[in-house]
Amino acid sequence: MKLALVVPGGVDRSGEYRVIPVLLALIERLAREHEVHVFALHQEPQPARWRLAGAYIHNIGDHRTRLRAIRAIREEHKRDPFDLIQAIFSGSCSLIAVMAAALLNLPSLVHIAGGELVALHDIGYGGRRSWKARLREALVLRSTNVITVASEPMIDAVEALGLRAHRVPLGVDLRGWPPLAPRRRGNGQARLIHVASLNRVKDQATLLRALALLAGAGLSFQMDIVGVDTLQGEIERLIRDLGLETHVRLLGFKTHSELRPLMENADVLVMSSRHEAGPLVTLEAAVAGVPTVGTAVGHIAEWAPWGALAVPVGDPEALADAIHGLLVDEELRLKLAISAQRRAIVEDADHTARAFEALYLQLLVTDSPR
């Protein structure tokens, strides 16, 4: 098959910086058997092309991106026809994929991987914050042939719109991120890790307030926060205000290979997001033998209580209690880690590619898989 994937980015020519590892893993596996063309909307400001993970990358660039992306897909289709078009992320990616598919009389798939179906007005986040955005998303999702999502809560969100979705988690590449058996922690300082860009939807303010409660209760811990700061130092100032300087390290961006030893050294991954379709780092932590405590979103809600501990969004007291409870109950911590690892290994990157390929074949041999 010849496949067109429309993505916002995550396919930098370096293969290491500004990439989405699970996306690269999927592309590489699809490219083993198919001709894959990836149309990246904003990887670089200027249009460009390169090869990555066995695929052809078409960077669209800034300015009139949607029109030029559709034109780029049409031009490549004229050279040698595509079999189908898939958007990884909805929003602009899905609009482009569905419009191009309609123009070329091709089937399309949309994978919802972010905040396309939520509206968090107080922080300006989500794809349903205006009537125009809601209308556009409804039209796109009703026009595509197949909708896929990463987790059961996202299935529920799609069904609330009167639509059907297939659950296809974006799994971990077990060759590049190999499984490591869960380890018993020692009696010393607890090692916590949080991996996410510093922004409103990841809600590090709630995370830090939970950590302040733990510090006030006398718990000995070290928290490593890995992620790009988009809040102009706000989180660093809050760390100082809460007196957490000796407990929290802001490590900034780390490549995937740089993240691995930090993850292996951790006892618990802590996530405080207000919304997640995944999060992907929960899968990576599970493969590395590390359980997750976090808010009841995405995989965390889906796996609780057997593979993760989930607490209400925006509740630092509940988050602190869950972290403390897991750190003082080693048998529970290991039980969660083992259960989560089994699930993440079964639903790895190979599983993801096979699941998408099955949907592709179903699309090509039937009028509509819905």
Instruction: Identify the three-state secondary structure at position 104.
Output: helix
pLDDT digits (tens, 9 = 90+) for 104-153: 999 999 999 989 899 999 999 998 899 888 888 889 999 999 999 999 99
Residue 366 has pLDDT above 90, yes or no: no
Cα atoms in the 13 Å half-sphere on the side-chain side of 333: 24
Q: Which band of pLDDT confidence, cut at 50, 70 and 90, is reported for residue 186? A: confident
CA–CA separation, 159 vs 343, rounded Å? 24
Q: Does domain 190-346 have CATH number 2.60.120.620?
A: no
Strand 166-167 vs strand 146-149: parallel, antiparallel, or unpaired? parallel
- Distance separating alpha carbons of residues 21 and 270, to the nearest angstrom: 20
Model pLDDT for residues 81-95, shown as the tens digit of each residue: 999 999 998 888 999
Please tell me the predicted confidence (pLDDT) of residue 41: 96
- Per-residue confidence at 60, pLDDT binned at 50, 70, 90? very high
Task: Supply the CATH classification number for the domain 2-171+348-365.
Answer: 3.40.50.2000
pLDDT digits (tens, 9 = 90+) for 144-179: 999 999 999 999 999 999 999 999 999 999 999 999
Q: What are phi and psi of 249, to 5 degrees?
A: -115, 125
b/e code 118-153 from CB counts within 10 Å (16+ = b): bebeeeebbbbeeeeeeebbeebbebbbbbbbbbeb
Question: According to the model, what pLDDT value does residue 272 have?
Answer: 98
Residue 368: pLDDT over 80: no
> In degrees rounded to 5, what are phi and psi of residue 66?
-65, -50
* pLDDT of 369 strictly over 80: no
Q: How do the domains of the chain map onto residue ranges?
A: 2-171+348-365, 190-346
Predicted local distance difference test score (pLDDT) of residue 127? 87
E strand spans, 231-342: 248-252, 268-271, 292-295, 309-311
The residue type at 216:
G
Work out the number of other CB atoms within 10 angstroms of the CB of residue 73.
Answer: 26
